[in-house]
Structure 1
Amino acid sequence: MARDREAEGATEAEGTPELSYREQLEFLNPIARPLASRRLTRKLYKCIKKAAKHKQIRRGVKEVQKFINKGEKGITVLAGDTQPIDVYCHIPIMCEDRSLPYAYVPSKSDLGAAAGSKRPTCVIMIKPHEEYQEAYDECLGEVESLPLPL
């Protein structure tokens, strides 16, 4: 029985084609601003992978919200295809109030995969660490240079 489920999961994963960046943009919700460019999105995913190796990420709305309220610093990365938007629409406001940089990426499944999870993730906070400080600073500079929504 378990083998059948594993086989079904494998065929489903093979049957679903990987969407390109442009195709993922079609599924964005209206509040997904500022959106990271394709290049910045790749850099953020790489930084998330490095941070996950050192256990320096906060994953999920509840955990990210808790640590923003505690005053923790880092880059907040939100998925632009999360529905309903009521789940996480308060996070950008919290980030702006505390002067934390944030950006949207097009896919929550890619965001979860970058964090080393099989589950999609709608919010991740990357904390700074000396092992990947150069990549973190580069992402931080680019995210801060993105124009804020009106």
Structure 2
Amino acid sequence: MGKIKVEDVSMNEGDKSANASTIEDKKSYDDLLVYLNPIAKPLASRKLTKRAYKCVKKASKQKKLRRGVKEVQKFVKKGETGFVLFAGDTRPIEVMCHLPILCEEKNIPYCYVPAKADLGQATGTKRPTCCILVKQDEAYQDVFDSCMEGIKKLPQPV
């Protein structure tokens, strides 16, 4: 997720000039799928992942999300509603493997996204996070509803 400096050498009329430019070292959706856990099902599609990150950004501005395993677990048990996003590349799996079962018991829709670094970045921090509970709010209702529909359409794991 850092920046790589690349020297761009152009030859115009015999002059050699080197311009330093930076290129964002961002991994694509397909590259991130290599690092997924075996339990990362249902996995959000590329389009749903983008919509979910957009919803997380808006929820973070409104202070309507819970992040981290302890906080998400506590508020799911207390009965808060919304949808949960899990990072598919969390290691070790045992850290959060009990949370999807808890979400199923409480009828809270959930899905996995490919990277915990991207999930943390969507909240506006540099710190990666492995799970987020997004609560409903009127400020971003349309994005929230489209994410909720997309997550409910995903096939549930057996």
Whether TM exceeds 0.5 here: the answer is yes
**C-alpha separation between the residues in 2 aligned to 1:83 and 1:17?**
22
What is the CA distance between 1:18 and its match in structure 2? Answer: 1.2
The structure richer in helix per residue is 1
Provide the aligned length of Structure 1 versus Structure 2: 139
User: Does the residue aligned with 2:86 lie in a helix, a strand or coil?
Assistant: strand
Distance 1:13 1:102 in 2: 30
Structure 1 stretches of 5 or more lacking a match? 1-11
**Larger radius of gyration between Structure 1 and Structure 2:** 2
The structure, 1 or 2, with the larger RCO (C-alpha pairs under 8 Å, 6+ apart) is 1
Per the alignment, residue 90 of structure 1 pairs with 98
State the SS of the aligned residue for 1:26: helix
| Unaligned residue ranges in structure 2 (runs of 5+) | 5-23
C-alpha distance in structure 2 between counterparts of 1:50 and 1:98, whole Å: 24
Shift of residue 17, structure 1, vs aligned partner: 2.3
2:35 partner SS: coil
TM-score (norm 1): 0.90
Corresponding position of 1:6: none
Local SS of the residue matching 2:102: helix
Partner of residue 134 from structure 1, selected from 116, 131, 142:
142
Once residues 63 and 73 of structure 2 are traced to their aligned partners in structure 1, the CA distance between those partners, rounded to angstroms, is 18
Q: For the residues of structure 1 that align with 2:125 and 2:100, how far apart are their CA atoms?
A: 23
The 3-state SS of whatever aligns with 2:111 is: strand
Structure 2: how far apart are the matches of 1:123 and 1:148?
Answer: 18
**Residue 60 of structure 1: aligned partner:** 68
> Hey, which of these two has a bigger chunk of strand by percent?
2
Instruction: Report percent identity of matched pairs.
Output: 55
Name the Cα RMSD after superposition.
1.1
Match of 1:3 in 2: none
